A = this chain, B = another copy of it.
């Protein structure tokens, strides 16, 4: 289960400056280095089951994981999309509140919960950074509540695409390619679970946006955006270029 084939020095870690360790000094990093271990998960694998004891916390190093919640009758809602540098688990809570699933192959940098909690109470920078990240996630969750409660299917799809576009233009720093383009990291069904729709509606609305020239598709997963402003308008977001995920 524990995959020791991967091991990265913190100093070389691709998420060094965005993850929970972002603020750590060299000394703190050494302590983390000592207690950390890597685990890999295949696409589709469940990382943590809701209700299970959580014996570890950690950061997504690569790949994408999702947080989901399910009603007994099977209705499912995705409540978070975890990208590289996002933190999984909750110090101070014994039991997981949500399912965490690997959407793509995932590598995580893990810490057993106990040592991590001790480290948190002695080194301020981890706790500070975690607070900051949690506040960001809370803001994102609240933006998402607006989407789930009040947006139309078309606006939901446009919002999702623009969020993904914004996020990975931030990651790759390619500023203004004439035509922005992104890969959707989710199946139609996963998008539906994220947006509170059915997969058929997702498919139809994507087709509609395509027909209306808002987006172009190459294959099922690759989306080009000829006019980002147009897409943002379709997303219905408050004009003030708000800050989501």
Q: Tell me if A48 is interfacial: C-beta within 8 Å of chain B.
A: no
Q: Say how many copies of this protein the assembly contains.
A: 2
Q: Tell me if A217 is interfacial: C-beta within 8 Å of chain B.
A: no
Bound Cα distance A141, B236 (Å): 22
**Could you say which of A67, A121, A138 has the most chain B C-beta atoms within 10 Å of its C-beta?**
A138
Q: Tell me if A210 is interfacial: C-beta within 8 Å of chain B.
A: no
Q: Using CB atoms, name the residue of chain B closest to A192.
A: B149
Bound Cα distance A72, B92 (Å): 40
Q: Tell me if A128 is interfacial: C-beta within 8 Å of chain B.
A: yes
Residues in B neighbouring A146, C-beta threshold 8 A:
69, 71, 77, 79
Interchain nearest-CB distance for A186 vs B (Å): 15
Q: Using CB atoms, name the residue of chain B closest to A156.
A: B149
Residues in B neighbouring A80, C-beta threshold 8 A:
142
Q: Tell me if A196 is interfacial: C-beta within 8 Å of chain B.
A: yes
Bits for A90-132, please: 1 = Cβ < 8 Å to B, else 0: 1011000110000000000000000000000100100110111
Name the contact of A196 in the complex, choosing from B90, B97, B149 (C-beta under 8 A): B149
Q: Using CB atoms, name the residue of chain B closest to A75.
A: B150
User: Are A76 and B238 CB-contacts (below 8 A) given A137-B138, A142-B97, A145-B144?
Assistant: no
Residues in B neighbouring A130, C-beta threshold 8 A:
131
Residues in B neighbouring A143, C-beta threshold 8 A:
69
Q: Tell me if A51 is interfacial: C-beta within 8 Å of chain B.
A: yes
Q: Tell me if A139 is interfacial: C-beta within 8 Å of chain B.
A: yes
Bound Cα distance A83, B143 (Å): 21
Bound Cα distance A145, B236 (Å): 19
Residues in B neighbouring A228, C-beta threshold 8 A:
none
Q: Tell me if A207 is interfacial: C-beta within 8 Å of chain B.
A: no
User: Are A135 and B72 CB-contacts (below 8 A) given A77-B150, A145-B148, A146-B79?
Assistant: no
Bound Cα distance A149, B77 (Å): 7
Which A residues contact B (CB, under 8 angstroms)? 51, 67, 69-73, 75-77, 79-80, 90, 92-93, 97-98, 121, 124, 127-128, 130-132, 134-135, 137-139, 141-146, 148-151, 195-196, 236-240, 242-243
Task: Name the 8 nearest CB pairs between A and B, nearest first.
Answer: A149-B196, A148-B148, A141-B141, A79-B142, A77-B149, A77-B146, A75-B150, A148-B149
